[in-house]
Structure 1
Amino acid sequence: MSVLLMLMSLCVLAQQQNRLVIAYVCSWTDQRLPNPMLMTNINYAFGHVNKTFNGCNVQNPDFLRKVVALKQINPKLKIQLSVGGWTSGNFSEMAADAKNRMMFAKDCARIVKLYGLDGIDIDWEYPTSSEAGISSSPNDTKNFTLLMRDLRKTLGKDKLLTAATIADALYVDFRSCIQYMDFVNIMAYDVADAPKHHTTLFRSPLSGRITVSEAVDAHIKAGVPKNKLCLGLPLYGRGDHGNNILEHYMKTGYTGGYYKACWDSVGQVPYLADWSGQLAWAAENTRSFAAKCQYIIDRDLLGAMYWETTEDNAQEDLMNTVYLSLLKYNKATIPLKQVLVMTDGQENAETEHLRALGKSLGFVVNVFTPATPFVDRLFARHHLLYNVNCNMDALSADAKTAFERYIDKAEGSYLAYNADTTKHWAWYNAFFKQPQAKHARTILYKVNPNLGYMPRLSTYEENKKQALKWLLRLE
């Protein structure tokens, strides 16, 4: 019995070690590099089929080199060039001509060697379809298989060859081409617009044309083995992207009081509802990501893919959820919230009390003083900055700049215990007097306030747990 248990444990361990997490990193965003320890693979977006249909152009090659340099931090990281994307054309013409197709495949192999990449990802959206405004042909599905064959020839067996596919598993003859491919990334999102949710795990009244679980079943039925399936997860929401509140909600948690945060218990997804109760914004959070990760584990899929890294919040909560669930613990795991206590360097009762609360509410406490060497994203990694008795004037120039960004971009929440203005920091004083002008969740508490602009929030001490839940978005 003990030998059997040991073998079962080794099997589970092997599953954990072999599971993949693929992150799309885009060339046109703010070019913020992700934490490479949270993933096993990066797909760099994008390369494009050139105008003569016989080669590949790489967007922003200098940034690609920076992405490849992440291997210095994580030597096991695999990096592919993703070719295509929505509205990226010239695939149909290239794949239809044997000479052009082979020249394109050879150029992809050249690019892989030139930049030190680990393979190619094809994101043709979609063979035989002009939905994205690109040319298409009835022969595209057959030619897609030939393209996979030719790419495998030029790349060799040791390089990765993958593809991103529509949730419905349409347009590709998987039974013919899967032999050439290492795995498939299912784009199990963007299947509906509000008032429907674009990526419910299971079918509910809010579901669009297909659910995440239905997308997985569709691919398996189409001929893709489970051990070659990676489930695509969106790090973004969907709705009216022209609405500034909705567009930034998943990063800031700010609703302006116009929307109500809701949970679809059947579809296993969050959303914002308007005054009538109708879905206005289809969202994701750590709870929904954990549910999808558990689904990946339960179905024994190869792993997860997500689009795209700069869409996550400052603390990278969603990416951390995927990392913890799939790569570290092999079970759905939601990361703990992070609180940075800002002090003058002396431990005090308030800090200890906060640590005790953290054990019950689910957050970790770290300590910062003006003497602490400031490193990039120190503030941004924390969900709450809790100023106990830190002299804000004493912060370094880098720390002040980071704090201003933290508040201006609503990267997290701020609580000032026994709050007061500063002598020399004009930005902080303006924020202190009118915190409502910012979207960051803020509580400014004064034990013995003077008369004037500083209100006394007498209920804070009496309702500290509720205040922290609100600041940390634990409600």
Structure 2
Amino acid sequence: MRQVKTILFLLGILFLNNSCQPKVNQPMQEKVVVAYVTSWTSVMPDPAYITHINYAFGHVTETFDGVRIDNEERLHRIVALKEEAPHLKVLLSVGGWGSGRFSEMAAEEALRKSFANDCQRVVKEFGLDGIDIDWEYPTSTLAEISASPDDTENFTLLMRDIREAIGTHKLLTLASAASAQFIDFRAIDPYMDFINIMAYDMGSAPIHHAPLYRSQYAGGNTAHEAVEKHREAGVSYHKLVLGMPFYGRGGQGGFPRGMKYHDIERIEGYERRWDDEAQAPYLADSAGAFVCGYENPRSIAVKAQYIHDKGLLGGMYWEYADDNEAGDLRRAVYNGVIGRPSGAPVK
């Protein structure tokens, strides 16, 4: 009888140990708010309105076998926020528009594994919670970086190798094009915690660059369509994080091509209008012409409702420093995503 009790006790311990092991593919129960914080700005983010920070950027080294970090001192200061906010997760985002050498690195096993091991070194050395990969984009030379038809397959191998290097207790995420192109999402799914959809830069004035739905001012894509394209590509809703811009895109009638929200808020001489179909604001000139599409607290609240209704994991934005001093946009994201917004159901 004593032997039976001993066996049952040991089995119980084994069950508890196994049940407590982190598993990559377990759905995250709580919503996330992911803020990109850049190396070239000085404003310190308020962790009260963020669950995750993606520090931008790290890059593939010139020798194709490691990670180089922009402004390491600032990254240390960002990580130090965890001392006052233990809930905060900080990841290094490797890549960004025009950041290359991914194709060469991912193509060779030795270089790829060396890069993955250096990701683990960086995570340990800086006290990070994971790695975010922002390769824009596998197989594409649009950003004037090297590319190969084999990039998509090699991207999968890269995700596998990074996961193996950093372990299952650290986060592995990526920034994905709104089109859901370039990546084999079904193949990488076992290695990924979640996917940040860059549901912005989908057009320039005279059309919106981040509309939720279609309207006469929407171009080739919308945030809703971007979500559905990722779902069709094999990503579960609960692994999708919807990206939102803290800046506008103009370029018409002498209006600047890009403008941060804190500047849009103060600009004079333009009419602020609301596109009820797209659920997005825009600026119009004195002739009524669309000159800049952007995001405001109202459109963010609508997107937060969408996140809840669709069962998405949360919201992401680029970038923290583009908000106004009062933090209207970041508060709208946090309150909408982490809180309990109410409104009309998703179309």
Contact kept in structure 2, 1:245 and 1:256, CA below 8 Å:
no
Corresponding residue number in structure 2 for 1:18 = 30
Q: Please state whether the residue corresponding to 1:185 is helix, strand or coil.
A: strand
Aligned counterpart for 2:268 among listed residues 229, 253, 256 = 256
| 2:279 corresponds to 1:275 | no
SS in 2 for 1:110: helix
> Which amino acid in 2 is paired with 1:314?
E
Query: Secondary structure, in 3 states, of the residue corresponding to 1:80?
Result: strand
- Of 322, 336, 340 in structure 2, the residue corresponding to residue 330 of structure 1 is 340
Aligned 8 A contact 1:65 1:115 in 2: yes
Matched, 1:266 2:277: yes
1:154 alignment partner, one of 158, 165, 173 = 165
Q: Is 1:247 matched up with 2:249?
A: no
Instruction: Report matched runs for 1:182-331 at 5 Å.
Output: 182-240=193-251, 243=255, 247=259, 250-251=262-263, 253-257=265-269, 259-327=270-338, 329-331=339-341
In structure 2, what is the equivalent of residue 120 of structure 1? 131
Match of 1:28 among 33, 40, 57: 40
For 2:240 and 2:131, how far apart are their aligned partners in 1? 16
Equivalent residue letter for 2:228:
D
C-alpha distance in 2 between matches for 1:42 and 1:221: 28
Q: Shift in Å at residue 325 of structure 1?
A: 1.3
Contact 1:246 1:255 in 2 (8 A): no
**Residue by residue, what CA displacement relative to the aligned partner does 1:292-333 show, whole Å, maximum 9, x if unpaired?**
000000001000110110000111111101111111x22159
CA shift for structure 1 position 267 = 0.3
TM-aligned CA deviation for residue 245 of structure 1: 11
- Count how many residue pairs are aligned between Structure 1 and Structure 2: 316
Deviation at 1:276, TM superposition (A): 2.4
C-alpha displacement at 1:256, in angstroms?
Answer: 2.8
Higher relative contact order by CA 8 Å / sep ≥ 6: 1 or 2? 2
Q: Any conservation in 1 of the 2:54–2:132 contact (CA below 8 Å)?
A: yes
* Paired residue type of 1:59: D
Normalization by structure 2: what TM-score? 0.88
- CA distance in 2 between counterparts of 1:235 and 1:248 reads 6
Give the Cα separation in 2 of the matches to 1:35 and 1:256.
29
Amino acid at match of 1:23: A
Aligned 1:52-451 pairs, distance under 5 A: 52-240=63-251, 243=255, 247=259, 250-251=262-263, 253-257=265-269, 259-327=270-338, 329-331=339-341
CA contact (8 A) 1:23 1:41 kept: yes
Query: What is the distance in 1 between the residues matched to 2:301 and 2:35?
Result: 17
Query: What fraction of aligned residue pairs are identical, expressed as a percent?
Result: 52
Q: Quote the Cα distance in structure 1 between the aligned partners of 2:114 and 2:257.
A: 47
CA distance in 2, matches of 1:144, 1:269: 34
Deviates more, 1:65-74 or 1:94-103: 65-74
Q: CA deviation at 1:16?
A: 11
**Match for 1:57: what amino acid?**
R
Quick check: which has more Rg, 1 or 2? 1
The superposition leaves residues 171-201 of structure 1 with CA deviations (integer Å, 9 ceiling, x where unpaired) of 0000001110000000000010110110100
- The 1:154/1:246 distance shift into structure 2, 3 A limit, reads closer
Instruction: Report the aligned-residue RMSD.
Output: 1.9
| Distance change (3 Å), C-alpha of 1:104 and 1:317 | same
Tell me which amino acid in the other structure corresponds to 1:140: D
In structure 2, relative to structure 1, the CA distance for the partners of 1:252 and 1:164 (3 Å cut) is closer
Relative to structure 1, the CA distance from residue 180 to residue 246 in structure 2 (aligned partners, 3 Å threshold; closer, same or farther) is: closer
Q: Deviations over 1:193-218 (max 9, x none)?
A: 11011010001111121000000000
Partners of 2:342 and 2:29 in 1: CA distance: 16
Structure 2 distance, partners of 1:205, 1:245, is 20
In the alignment, what sits opposite 1:431?
none
